[in-house]
Amino acid sequence: MVYDYIKEDRSMITGERKGMRILNFGSLNLDYVYNVDHFVRPGETLAALSRDVKPGGKGLNQSVALARAGAQVCHAGCLGAGGEILKSILDENGVDTSLLLPVDEMQGHTVIQVDRQGENSILLYGGSNRCVPDEYIRRVITGFGQGDWLILQNEINGLPLITELAAGQGMHIVLNPSPYDRSLEETDLNRLDWLLVNEIEAEQISGEKEPEKVWEKLHGQYPALSVLITLGSSGSTAYRAGGGNIETHREEAVRVKAVDTTAAGDTYTGYFIAGLTAGRTLRACMNEASRAAAIAVTRPGAAGSIPWRKELD
C-alpha cells in the first residue's frame, strides 16, 4: 500500500482533534531559475546571465509563507523522484510533512526567466504533482473536519474531488486558481469560502477586467463566495461575503525596488490566510500580506525570499 509510510496512530489520520487546523493540499516544485537580460523572444537564442536551482511550487511557497507568518500548517501532496530537498525545506520551516506521498514520477519543476527589472516568466511541468491518487485524497481529507481550513492551488490534479470531500467535512476552502486552465470548470466554486486571484486570473475566470465588475459577476454566480484580487503595483482589493453583508477593503502596495517577483503572490496568499485563520480583520490581513510581499520581491528566489513575521515588525 502507498500509505504504509504513514503511521496509523497519527492524529492527522485518525481525526483526533486539537483545535482548528490548516491543510495545504498542494504542489512541490524544483525551480530552475535563469537570470536573463530580457525574456527570450520567438526564434531567439539567448545566453543566461546565471542559473540557480531553488525550492518552489505554489503549494510549497504558500506553506512556507503560512509557517513564517506564524500559522501551523500540514502539507499534503506527492513527493517525486529527486524532490527530497523539498521535504527538507518544509521540515526546516516547521511545516508538518507527515502526509506527503512518495511517488516514482519525476519531481514537478519550473523553468523561470528573471529579467533585469525583476519580472519573471514561468514554464511549469507538473510531473509528480499531477500524480495524486483518488484513494490518497480520500485518506487525507477524512482526517480533517468541521472548522478546519483547506488551501488549494491549480498545480495538482484532483481538485474537484478534494473540494467535494472537504466541503462534506465542513472545512473552510480557499482556492488560488493558478495557473488558470479549463480543468477548473470542473471544480464547484459554490463549495469555496475564498477565491484568491491576480488580475489576469480574475479576468480569465470572470470575463471582466475591473475589480468591481469581477466581483459583481462572481457574486452573482456564487453568492457565498468571498474574493481577493491582487493587482501588482496597484495593491489589492477584497470582497468578503457573509451574513447578508459585503465587507470591502482596498490595500495599497508597498513601494520597493523589485529584484525578483517570483513568490510575491504566494507570500501574499500565505500571510493573508494566516491572518484569516487567526481571526484578524480584513484590513489587518491585507496590510500584513502586502508588507510581506513587498519584502519578498526585494530578494531573489521563491521560498527563500519569504519573510518571517518578525521582519514585518
Residues in Cβ contact with 117 at an 8 Å cutoff, skipping those fewer than 6 apart:
258
Catalytic one of 91, 134, 266, 313: 266
Distances (CA, A) of 82 to 38, 109, 279: 30, 10, 38
C-alpha cell at 208: 471582466
The number of beta carbons lying within 10 Å of the beta carbon of residue 177 is 23
Q: Is-contact 57 27, C-beta < 8 A?
A: yes
C-alpha cell at 197: 486571484
Longest dimension (CA), the chain: 57
Mark whether 266 is an active-site residue: yes
Please give the positions annotated as active site. Answer: 266
